[in-house]
Homo-oligomer: A and B are copies of this chain.
């Protein structure tokens, strides 16, 4: 998805919010926002929004000298989600449709996104989980996913955020583990999950975990490692979590199921659903080129 002009006021608002969250130093606030404005002014709008988000968060890490400003937030949500994991696992197993429940919980976990929002209370998160269990995803796309899983030889699961990754584990456990690979980011960006979070979530014990070699909050293929590119271009089933993955991969000819909470008006317009919608979308375009 390209960057819309509406993303620009949002980039500037986010930059200010994030840099204020990360440091109290007004000189750093000023320096970072001015640097980001100059960059946006020169931006090629055909690039996807996470390209700018990658730049913004690199600028903030550099200006503050803090290589992982969301470390505590990530750990807090890992801890919270891990404390819920046993009961959620039991609810998936007791469910009439364990796959639907696991998919719904994985989407609910996508609320833990500090790129799109400034804060998330434990209460909000718990309400989202309850809503997901009570009203699980249904429909044709879920049936297509259910049908494809048994025959998929190489399943790639593109994670999104820390904390969320624990709920992803519920869905990973509904997949054939030996044919599933979980993908984390190559380095810290916002509260996106890295290898450390995959270890905390227990994913490294049950499936192969690889990183994509990039610190973009999404999957910018040109910024990923050659090894990861090879994997994604040859996977026969991809589950991609969150807006960032949707925004960066939606124009690719890849067999991707997107699982996300719609969090901004631009993506809402693009997918045709209101902000707040839990979404399962399948995009299987006729392959044109995968080079």
A interface, CB within 8 angstroms of B = 5-6, 8-9, 12-13, 16, 26, 29-30, 33-35, 37-38, 40-42, 45
| A34–B30 touching, CB < 8 Å | no
A5-B29, A6-B16 are known; give 10 further A-B pairs, CB within 8 A.
A5-B33, A8-B16, A8-B33, A9-B9, A9-B13, A34-B41, A34-B42, A37-B40, A38-B41, A41-B41
Query: A87 CB to closest chain B CB, in angstroms?
Result: 40
Query: A56 CB to closest chain B CB, in angstroms?
Result: 13
Query: A43 CB to closest chain B CB, in angstroms?
Result: 8
Query: A231 CB to closest chain B CB, in angstroms?
Result: 36
What's the Cα separation between A187 and B105 when bound, in Å? 58
What's the Cα separation between A42 and B35 when bound, in Å? 10
Query: A118 CB to closest chain B CB, in angstroms?
Result: 13
| A37–B8 touching, CB < 8 Å | yes
Query: A42 CB to closest chain B CB, in angstroms?
Result: 8
Query: A55 CB to closest chain B CB, in angstroms?
Result: 14
| A12–B16 touching, CB < 8 Å | no
What's the Cα separation between A45 and B38 when bound, in Å? 15
Query: A275 CB to closest chain B CB, in angstroms?
Result: 17
- Contact of A30 with B5 at beta-carbon distance under 8 Å, contacts A37-B37, A38-B38, A41-B37 already known: yes
Q: List 24 A-B contacts (CB under 8 A).
A: A5-B16, A5-B26, A5-B29, A5-B30, A5-B33, A6-B16, A8-B12, A8-B16, A8-B33, A8-B37, A9-B9, A9-B16, A12-B12, A30-B45, A34-B40, A34-B42, A35-B41, A37-B37, A37-B38, A37-B40, A37-B41, A38-B38, A38-B41, A41-B41
| A9–B12 touching, CB < 8 Å | yes
Chain B residues with Cβ below 8 Å from A42 are: 34
Chain B residues with Cβ below 8 Å from A8 are: 12, 16, 33, 37
What's the Cα separation between A40 and B13 when bound, in Å? 14
CB closest chain-B residue, reference A14: B9
Chain B residues with Cβ below 8 Å from A13 are: 9
Query: A46 CB to closest chain B CB, in angstroms?
Result: 11
CB closest chain-B residue, reference A38: B41
| 9 closest Cβ pairs, A-B complex | A37-B41, A9-B13, A38-B41, A9-B12, A34-B41, A37-B37, A12-B12, A37-B40, A9-B9
What's the Cα separation between A45 and B6 when bound, in Å? 24
CB closest chain-B residue, reference A36: B41
CB closest chain-B residue, reference A42: B34
What's the Cα separation between A45 and B13 when bound, in Å? 17
Query: A76 CB to closest chain B CB, in angstroms?
Result: 27
Query: A130 CB to closest chain B CB, in angstroms?
Result: 34
Chain B residues with Cβ below 8 Å from A12 are: 8-9, 12
What's the Cα separation between A42 and B16 when bound, in Å? 17
